[in-house]
Structure 1
Amino acid sequence: MAQPDHKPLLLLITTGLRRYREYLLRSICTRYRVHLIHSVEPTWELEYVAGATVVRDTGAENVVAAARQIAAQQRVTGVMSWHEEHIVQAALVAEELGLPGTRAEAVWRCRDKFQTRTTLAAEGLAQPAFMLVGTAEEAMTAADKLGYPVVVKPRAAGGSQGVTLVHDAAELADHFAVSRDVVVTDTPDYEQGVLVEEYLDAPEISVDSVVYRGRVKPLFLGRKDVGFPPFFEETGHLVSHADPLLGDPELLGALEAIHAALGYTDGWTHAELRLTAQGPKLIEVNGRLGGDMIPYLGMRASGIDPGLAAAAVACGEEPATAASATSVAGVRFCYPPENDTLIESVEFDQSALPPEIDLALPLVERGDVVSPPRKGLIDGRIALATAVAPQAPECRRALDHAQRALRLRVG
């Protein structure tokens, strides 16, 4: 896509899956020239980018070198990434080129959940009790000290990969390897790479915030549905800009304290918290836009454009955060009935979809073989539907109708 030269130049490091991230790029390119740094040749992105640099891999050294070359030829205004495995690279580029952004060491404190935990513990901020381990034997000792049930998770993965709830030593022995063996690119090879944490039996929310010069502005609050225990597969979300919790002083104070402790000053964050009887407690905070279509849902519910807001902050500009709507938007993910399901076709019966349905998209194609979690964690999704409605109950009903309208044929 030809983008006028007068627009500010924004570097973007990787894009992710088209169905989950295209809406961000579509918005951003209306106000910025986007230069993509990626490890593969762009395809669908070509409609939206002014240029692209393909690197051998997206490790920090290659990404920074590519950014340096681009900056030598034209003025770069900002850099960003919404991909968990590349947010530190973006921060390093910002430091190298003197661009706006949170310091790389603070972004890494968000990526590395053990650093998050130890930083918040030093400030006395509310979170689960935790211990870092490297072996199943160490995990057993930690679980005995913390008390079952416990949550076992990799210290630097995303998307709930390898996160498991275990109720006793036998389950811990069965599932420890699930957390230990999650492969996360561009991270150190930790001798102790697994966290064992206290399980907080309380509702979980997510909060997407834009952070500008140290000021935290929560924009979208998501109430999530989780399935496939003992795993934490996120099967759906309801998102609103008008949720009463976004005006709750205790939650707002917690978010401000968390960001200040971590040193996160500029960018976008996706925080997950449990609403316990003692108040909100942080599960994790990611230095990027939320996944699972959450920012898209926030945009549809409020009229606030997350892509443009995040890009503005990346370029040192104050983001636009005024809402023009007060709806609720939701997403529902659909899964195959059993492991190793051979897909013949996936489609929605359009005649059975209510008017609140916004999107109804297959995520797999004929010939794909997919499995539900555990085997198919995240990758096991076969379709998604989104809905927009005045209130949460209507949104849920529309998503229920969409799920019933899914037509799956298997081989």
Structure 2
Amino acid sequence: MAKRVLILLDGLVRTSLLYVQAARALNLHPIILSSDPDQYDYLAAESIEAIRVDTDDLDALISECSRLGASYDIAGITCAGDSFYATVGKLCRYFDLPGPNAASIERCCDKFSQRQLLAEAGVSIPAYRLATDAADAKSSAAEIGLPVIVKPAVGIGSSGVRLCRDVDELTEHTTHLLGGGHIWRSSPRILVEEFAQGPQYGANTMGNAVIAIGSAEYGPPPHFVYREWNVPAQLTDYARESIADVSLSCLRALGLGWGPTNIELRWTKRGPVVIEVNPRLAGGPTTRLVQLAYGVDLATQHIKLAIGDECDLRIRHSHTAAARFLVADRDGILQRIDGDGRAAAISGVAEVRMYAEPNTPIVRKGDARDCIGHVIATSPSHDRTKAILQRAIDLIDWSITPFPAVGEHE
């Protein structure tokens, strides 16, 4: 009998490992198709098969999957991110496998199209305008009113997202995005949006079910780098129901009733305002937090959907879980990291993970790439979880030495 395989397209690197581990637990053989397999630094340690293929070329992917199908039983095809999730949908349709609607994913991943569809459905969103040059951005900001959020119309991980508080910051950031400071996967288009102010929340869904609602904290503006995530969020029954209702409205408006979605919102003076809908599991450790808090492994359940099995979304317990990110505070060379082993040994600490090794160059981007690690803690109560997390964080120390000045010799 041919070995059953799960084909994984390029995705969020750290989340892809969750899918690999979940696939193996389901007795599936994971194979990664990637244009750059070297980005998955855990391949050798996990003995994962990876094949280099142009993931922007649908015909090349069909050819590779057909070749694999001659030797294996392809149980399913999926992806841990949204950059290639529409391609997953096309492959699933070609090979008659369960998968997402490619057209819905493509519309959702274009943030301007997403905004239009949500607005048409009456979902509360920030005021927004589309800009293709600095003049457009300036006039859009004047219409909306400063401060504004300026970001690429297509992108992930808060890359290129910035709060612009005055015209000078707006001009500077627009010039940066359009002048070569940002890598565009499509034609350069910028969204200028109202700055919706209020606490940040995230709803994690599978199919048409809201599984968990978490709360987030950012570092200082003008960037939006996560510092902490908590699951579940501390909410009133009214707020929880409001966020769940608007999340389901987003799914209906965008045609996303299959697979995972995470929806970012802010609670403002007018209630929940949708910042972004992502047709995938949340990045970073959020999936792990949901599992610790409720006993629901979203990566496993997504794979079950992808291979045609029935998923099980029953909540098994009710704990709290929190993640704190370790964020680089300067550019330079990461010389050392101390205390992570002691932090991991604390009762209630579920995970300590470092993303960077000593002697790694650090160049901050103002997005998720500035994080050099995270710590996860869990317990039956919110306050206890926060105390465990703080105790662990206090044990970890690192040093970053500045880059040598130009012309400076050792």
Give the TM-score of the pair, scaled to structure 2: 0.88
Give how far 1:267 is off.
1.1
Deviation of 1:145 after TM superposition, in Å, equals 0.6
**Whole-angstrom CA distance in 2 between matches of 1:176 and 1:279:** 30
Q: 1:318 to 1:172 in 2, by over 3 A?
A: same
Select 1:385's aligned residue among 357, 361, 375: 375
Q: Does 1:209 align with 2:205?
A: yes
Following TM superposition, by how much is the alpha carbon of 1:295 offset from its aligned partner in structure 2, in angstroms?
Answer: 0.4
Residue deviations 1:58-105, cap 9 Å, x none?
543432332233335544332110123221221121122122122111
In the alignment, is residue 357 of structure 1 matched against residue 349 of structure 2? yes
Alpha-carbon spacing, 1:46–1:310, altered in 2? closer, same or farther (3 Å): farther
Residue range with higher mean Cα deviation, 254-263 or 357-366: 357-366
**Kept in 2: contact 1:205–1:274 (CA 8 A):** yes
Q: Which amino acid aligns with 1:95?
A: R
Cα deviation for residue 57 of structure 1 reads 4.7
TM-superposition CA deviations, 1:240-299 (whole Å, max 9, x none): 399666994332222222111111131111110112232222111111111021001111
The residue number in structure 2 matching 1:321 is: 313
Asked whether the 8 Å contact 2:11–2:84 carries over to 1, the reply is no
Q: How does 1:2-401 map to 2 (within 5 A)?
A: 5=2, 8-14=4-10, 16-18=12-14, 20-31=15-26, 32-41=28-37, 44-45=42-43, 52-180=50-178, 181=180, 183=182, 187-190=185-188, 193-211=189-207, 216-240=208-232, 248-340=240-332, 342-348=333-339, 350-351=341-342, 354-374=346-366, 377-401=367-391
- Give the % identical residues: 22
Counterpart-to-counterpart distance in 2, 1:273 and 1:143: 21
Aligned length: 396
Amino acid at match of 2:94: E
Partner letter of residue 218 of structure 1?
V
Counterpart for residue 407 of structure 2: none
Partners of 2:234 and 2:68 lie apart in 1 by: 41
CA RMSD of aligned residues (A): 2.6
Q: Which runs of 5+ in 2 are unaligned?
A: 402-410
Q: Could you tell me how far 1:177 is from its partner in structure 2?
A: 3.2
- For the residues of structure 2 that align with 1:159 and 1:296, how far apart are their CA atoms? 18
1:296-355 Cα shifts (integer Å, max 9, x gaps): 111112111112111012223321111222111111111233222x12211226446642
Letter in 2 for 1:131: R
With the length of structure 1 as denominator, give the TM-score of the two structures.
0.88
C-alpha displacement at 1:154, in angstroms?
0.6
Report the Cα offset of residue 15 of structure 1.
5.2
Per-residue deviation, residues 328-386 of structure 1 (Å, max 9, x unmatched): 1111111233222x122112264466422222232211211214453xx3222223211
CA drift of 1:48 comes to 6.2
Letter paired with 1:36: I
The question of whether the paired residues in 1 share the 8 Å contact of 2:202 and 2:264 is answered with: yes
